[in-house]
Structure 1
């Protein structure tokens, strides 16, 4: 899709987003205009009401002016003065954000996602300006700059975030603006980037947990106070269409109610009018509007109300503990108590900012007089949330166990180091360079069963001396070192399977550099002998294990050979040649005498001429012997070719099938 097509798509997305939000209000009001007012009122009044409600739902301040008669009929003090509505019905904002995120995912599929986001945001801003102008009248005055900015932000920010997330998931290249932002971020040291990233993740997760619990609490309160809510519906006398409109309006404020419940879980609670308070400690209410949903408000405090404060505490501890392995893995060698404490502090700050933002969005003015103060206090809620989440997160990072599985130490491959003298230290360094005997045996494949490997180990049983210190005599030269070999002579080398052992492993002593000091003390010789004995013991253990495995394989081979001999005897007919002296009275096992034909008795069937191995291999080096055709059997009887029994005397399951 080219740039112009992306721009057109973005404009259509903006129109659909605004149209859906306005339609949610305009359709019920239009039905109310038709059924309740009988089309006797100008429809323009309902259009302006729908526009103002949509703008209020996005946080736009709208000022209403009531006539003197309407203000007097309301009975509310201060109703004659201009009434400013600043409490946002966040349900409409949530719908706009959701549609904006969907549009951002579509923009990410094009090559001009920046153009799509900018055009879509600008289109929403223009539509907000149009609604603000059309909704302005003598009774309502929306703030025009807010009508331009706030709906555009509710659309543009989710679209940008969704587009960037899709870009990262699909490994798409970053645009110029995103590239500059990433360059600035990469200038921050990696350690502090890890700390800040952990704070963003853990703080967001903790806040999401608290908000989720708040939503569950709101649901249970509505279900538990169902009778009070229905009573307030009946007292409103709104009718069917009016009841539907009232329900839609309350659903628009449902995110605000969840924000109030979040502040209640944190501790400070919220207010519905000046001087009122709803918190876990107690509830103090004055005159409130007769909105049905207010019937779910708790009428008094709870005995164990303070236990609800454990919700953000547990959320902070859980977020810090679950995400701790990620922080440990990212920090690596730079991991320290200070950095973990900083990460916990960042978690508390992020949680406080987010929770305070939720409280700020769900607070404002809802009417004249004492209703000018509705909702939680954002600063107090945010500060307590940062404390309740940050401290448990720090504790979880300090005392939690790593969930990262570290490599286990292999105790079967120990290396011994002597650091008291230079010669032994040099020998140990040579051992580390060449590898241990078990490493060489493992490379040779001694512990594997899928392939065959051969190796040779030469062991010297005389003391190890240097060439310049001692010259072997004739007696020593006569005794060659013992050699242990398997399958073949040492001279034969199989390049595919044989692995050459290091020199010190074949001689049974660690290698000593040529430039080592010639002077050797008895203490040094003792240490070298100790190392040699340990290595020799390890080699003996490996050799014994290999010998045991070889014996086991040989036993299995003998068993298979015996089974093959048994099968060959059965195939070659050795059982048929064995005389059967035991009487058998069963009629189906009766063997009558074979008749003589032309005075000659038919010979017994010869045994199978080949062995089982020759039969399987396909023997073809034996001349075909002439086939002797036996005389024909007497008419009326057919004989079985194997047991020489008439077929009519055979059991039914041994009679030939399909040859008659």
Structure 2
């Protein structure tokens, strides 16, 4: 496929990803305006609000300053009229990342993965620039540089990673092929492939842990969520807006679930802690989705810490099998120890990144910082994963595995080393009937007809 076509398709993917995200923020605000104010929507007011929500969903922090008349009307302390809002509704960023990864992989399949990923990232950054310039409001102010860079990174990183992964085996030229060939010459490609497989298992396992905790929280706290929604006294449209907002923040709670399962937990402001070892949430705001937070704790919840260890063990098992398939026999202990350490570091990086994107401010005072802390989550998650990975990577191999590898190495005979030699049978004695049959065949062949009886 021509490179220009790949660039145009990648640019189109970036436009679709941005437009869908902006529409997802503009549509509910328009419905709220129509049914709440009984009038035609004012695009001059709705567009800045929608663009600001889209920016927040792409990790752009906002500085909120409530108007003085609004502060006087609701009786809020003027000192609390200004506060940071940086807890992102990650559904926006998640959709953009998935769409970007799909675009990067498709460009790689067409033969120009990095070119397509770069083109899509540039277009998405241009759209973010237009949003930053046009969606300005005095109530919520974003730093112009962050409003451009952070959305662009949300698109660029998944697109580039997906393009590299998809192009690793098939690339004949370019930076991906150069790196792969150098690893092959250094005899490190198999270790890199095995580590990448382990990383994929860890990432999937971490996502699964967060989902397990969130599902359990929904089952246990749905009644509290309904009660908080009813206590808000909103109509049908307001209930739909609250439900949509809760859905947009569901991936954020997913990250909190990972922190809870790993052990460090998270905070709901200064002086609070929500973890398996103990819960002290303080005064919880009447936001319906916060009804999913646990109200108590149990010693049995400490067993959740075994789940990341199990994820690490599964990753270690898969890595060891891949290392064994890529070499003659098992890999050296030093190699396996290094791989286990790398898996622990990668898991720590996942934990730190998860804590960064799922924490932030939601209000003044103690609510200026909620969510998990990057340091504790990275340390604990990394240690749990490396322990599980080391159990499978560094454990002695069983006798059956050794015999199986010996069988594969003995390709000439196709049998296990040390097995008894095959028994050779002597040729059987000639049967006299065979001579008679041969004589009859000779007679039949010489005359063309059966001999006379």
Taking structure 1 as the reference length, the TM-score comes to 0.60
User: Which residue is equivalent to 1:89?
Assistant: 89
1:304 aligned counterpart, secondary structure? helix
Match of 1:505 in 2: none
Candidates 310, 314, 321, aligned match of 1:325: 321
Post-superposition offset of 1:334: 8.5
Deviation at 1:266, TM superposition (A): 1.0
Q: How big is each residue's C-alpha offset from its partner over 1:284-323, in whole Å with a ceiling of 9 and x where there is no partner?
A: 0122222211112110111312111111112212221232
Structure 1 residues 414-444: Cα deviation after superposition (integer angstroms, max 9, x where no partner): xxxxxxxxxxxxxxxxxxxxxxxx7xxxxxx
> Matched residues in 1 for 2:44 and 2:89: separation?
22
SS of the residue corresponding to residue 141 of structure 2 reads: strand
Corresponding position: 1:546 with 2:426: yes
Q: Counterpart in 2 of 1:160?
A: 160
The answer for the alignment partner of 1:174 in structure 2 is 173
* Cα shift at 1:214: 2.0
Alignment map for 1:313-392 (pairs within 5 Å) = 313-330=309-326, 332=328, 335-392=331-388
For residue 271 of structure 1, give the secondary structure of its aligned residue in structure 2.
coil
The alpha carbon displacement at 1:40 in A equals: 6.3
**Residues 57 and 93 of structure 2 are in contact (CA less than 8 Å); yes or no, is this contact kept in structure 1?**
yes
- Would the aligned equivalents of 1:29 and 1:46 in 2 still touch at CA under 8 Å? yes
Provide closer, same or farther for how the CA distance between residues 77 and 398 of structure 1 changes in structure 2, counting only shifts above 3 A. Answer: farther
The secondary structure found in structure 2 opposite 1:375 is coil
C-alpha spacing 1:4/1:316, structure 2 compared with 1 (3 Å): closer
Q: Distance in 1 between matches of 2:340 and 2:450?
A: 88
CA contact (8 A) 2:104 2:114 kept: no
Match of 2:279 in 1: 283
Alignment of 1:445-464 (within 5 A): none
In 2: Cα distance, 1:360 partner to 1:74 partner: 33
Separation of aligned partners in 2, 1:75 and 1:173: 67
Candidates 259, 262, 275, aligned match of 1:263: 259
The partner residue of 2:245 within 242, 249, 271 is: 249
Tell me the alpha carbon deviations over residues 71-108 of structure 1, each in whole angstroms, 9 at most, x when there is no partner.
35556656644322121211101111111122223323
1:75–1:375 CA distance, 2 compared to 1 (3 A)? farther
Mapped to 2, the partners of 1:342 and 1:313 lie a distance apart of 18
Classify the secondary structure of the residue corresponding to 2:359. Answer: coil
**Per-residue displacement from partner, 1:318-362 (whole Å, max 9, x unpaired)?**
221232122234454783333322222222111111122111211
Secondary structure (helix, strand or coil) at the match of 1:546 reads coil
CA distance in 2, matches of 1:10, 1:332: 42
Offset of residue 246 of structure 1: 1.8
State whether residues 113 and 167 of structure 2, in contact with CA within 8 Å, keep that contact through their aligned partners in structure 1: no
Correspondence for 2:227 among 227, 231, 255: 231
Separation of aligned partners in 1, 2:244 and 2:48: 17
Aligned 8 A contact 1:200 1:350 in 2: no
Q: 1:28 and 1:13 mapped to 2: Cα distance?
A: 24
Q: Which is bigger in relative contact order (C-alpha 8 A, separation at least 6)?
A: 2
Contact between 1:65 and 1:80, CA under 8 Å: does it hold in 2?
A: no
Larger radius of gyration: 1
- 2:289 equivalent in structure 1: 293
2:134 is matched with which residue?
134
Query: Could you tell me whether the CA contact under 8 Å between 1:76 and 1:369 is conserved in 2?
Result: no
1:220 counterpart = 2:219: no
Aligned match of 1:412: 420
Q: Which moved more, 1:14-23 or 1:150-159?
A: 150-159
CA distance in 2, matches of 1:222, 1:19: 31
Q: Is the 8 A contact 1:264 1:280 kept in 2?
A: yes
Q: Does 1:7 align with 2:15?
A: no
- Distance in 2 between the 1:4 and 1:323 partners? 39
Alignment partners' CA distance in 2, 1:113 and 1:326: 26
Counterpart contact for 1:132–1:147, Cα < 8 Å: yes
Whole-Å separation in 1 of the counterparts to 2:190 and 2:107: 30
Please, which runs of 5 or more residues in structure 1 have no aligned partner?
A: 414-437, 439-540, 562-612, 624-660
Distance 1:301 1:621 in 2: 100
| Structure 2 residue matching 1:272: 3-state secondary structure | coil
* C-alpha contact 2:197 2:318 (8 A) present in aligned 1: no
Specify which structure has the higher proportion of helix.
2
Q: Distance in 2 between matches of 1:54 and 1:223?
A: 30
Distance in 2, Cα, partners of 1:330 & 1:289 = 55
Alignment of 1:518-529 (within 5 A): none
- Decide whether the 8 Å contact of 1:61 with 1:85 is kept in 2: yes
1:401 shift after superposition: 2.9
Which residue is equivalent to 2:303?
307
Is the 8 Å Cα contact of residues 196 and 346 (structure 1) preserved in structure 2? no
1:19 aligned onto 2:19: yes
Q: Secondary structure at the match of 2:84?
A: strand
For residues 120-164 of structure 1, what are the alpha-carbon distances to aligned partners after superposition, in whole Å with 9 as ceiling and x for unaligned? Answer: 211110110111122212222112112211211222222223333
Indicate conservation of the 8 Å contact 1:348/1:386, yes or no.
Answer: yes
1:375 Cα shift? 0.3
